[in-house]
């Protein structure tokens, strides 16, 4: 299975900064053929990014999407608009959206359906908080989020990202064993719905991934890529992550 490594830039980078990043990142990864390399800039930088990545091996993703195609929804962006801006994928269900923007499972499910219907690939995020982990609720939370988010959704063009909230932006990465345990569990839940097709769904790990820990995480059987925040903002560091040592 081809690895999938995505940069989630969150609320970072102007158009000029996006162009500057890509002008140094694209040459650094141009030989990489065994990884789907994806960048998710803020909406305002998407067209500058689309312009820079022409004829490269980089794909674009948006960080959010609304579920309607058009209408009186001030401030929202439709799946069709995202496609039109040059994106192939969209991140949905990120814990920051769940936490700060009250996006609940039903909203996330609606967004996933609309994005897939429009032909976008979906990077669907799930993950437990520190309190939930310490209370022994990790498996229950993951099961609920996966089942609710993917209700009536097929497995085509779907990537799932396991992002333990306690590891996001904290420098506290899950160990390879912790990641593998939850990835295998996610694969099992996907198997209940998709059967053998669950083996084709790429499951990414996210949460303080760096050039130093990427090799051991990617070596896990059920880890098929990474969703990277902080360490994706510098071209050298993200290029090192994309060029991790492949040995499964
Ligand atoms: P981080 O963010 O790599 O900065 O921990 C990951 C994410 O939130 O996608």
How far does the centroid of ligand 1 lie from the alpha carbon of residue 61, in Å?
15
In this predicted structure, what is the pLDDT of residue 245? 87
According to the model, what pLDDT value does residue 197 have? 97
Cα 168 to ligand 1 centre (Å): 5
List the residue whose alpha carbon is closest to atom 6 of ligand 1: 229
208, 213, 225: residue to mutate for ligand 1 pocket, most atoms within 8 A of CB: 208
Name the residue among 193, 205, 191, 111 with its Cα closest to residue 159.
Answer: 205
Atom of ligand 1 nearest to the CA of 228: 3
Give the H or E element holding residue 139: helix 138-149
Residues with CB under 6 A from ligand 1: 8, 163, 168-169, 206-209, 227-231
Q: What is the DSSP letter of 248?
A: -
The per-residue pLDDT for range 32-42, each reduced to its tens digit, is 999 999 999 99
Residues of the chain under the 70 pLDDT cut: 248
Strand partners, 122: 90, 158
Helix, strand and coil content of the chain, in percent to the nearest 5, comes to 45, 15, 40
pTM of whole model > 0.95? yes
pLDDT, residue 246, reads 79
pLDDT (0 to 100) of residue 171: 86
For the chain, the structural domain boundaries read: 3-242
Per-residue model confidence as pLDDT tens digits over 102-128: 999 999 999 999 999 999 999 999 999
Which two structure tokens, joined as six digits, stand for 79? 């799946």
Q: What is the pLDDT of residues 159-168, one digit of tens each?
A: 999 999 999 9
Closest ligand 1 atom, residue 210 Cα: 3
The total number of residues shown for the chain amounts to 248
The topology under which CATH files domain 3-242 is: TIM Barrel (3.20.20)
């Amino acid at each position: 299975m081809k690895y999938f490594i995505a940069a989630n830039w969150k609320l970072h980078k102007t158009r000029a900064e996006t162009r500057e990043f890509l002008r140094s990142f694209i040459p650094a990864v141009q030989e990489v053929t065994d990884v789907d390399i994806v960048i998710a800039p803020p909406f305002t930088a998407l067209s500058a990014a689309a312009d820079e990545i022409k004829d490269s091996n980089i794909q674009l993703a948006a960080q959010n999407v609304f579920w309607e195609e058009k209408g009186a929804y001030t401030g929202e962006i439709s799946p069709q608009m995202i496609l039109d801006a040059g994106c192939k994928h969209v991140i949905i269900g990120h814990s920051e959206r769940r936490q700060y923007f009250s996006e609940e499972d039903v909203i996330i499910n609606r967004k996933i359906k609309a994005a897939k219907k429009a032909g976008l690939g979906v990077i669907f995020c799930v993950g437990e908080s520190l309190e939930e982990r310490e209370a022994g609720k990790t498996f229950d939370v993951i099961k609920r989020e996966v089942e609710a988010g993917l209700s009536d959704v097929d497995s085509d063009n779907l990537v799932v990202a396991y992002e333990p909230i306690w590891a996001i932006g904290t420098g506290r990465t899950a160990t390879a064993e912790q990641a593998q345990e939850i990835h295998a569990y996610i694969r099992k839940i996907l198997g209940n719905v998709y059967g053998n097709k669950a083996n084709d769904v790429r499951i990414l790990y996210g949460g303080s991934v760096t050039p130093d820990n990427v090799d051991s995480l990617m070596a896990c059987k059920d880890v098929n890529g990474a969703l990277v925040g902080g360490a994706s903002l510098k071209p050298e560091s993200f290029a090192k992550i994309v060029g991790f040592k492949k040995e499964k």
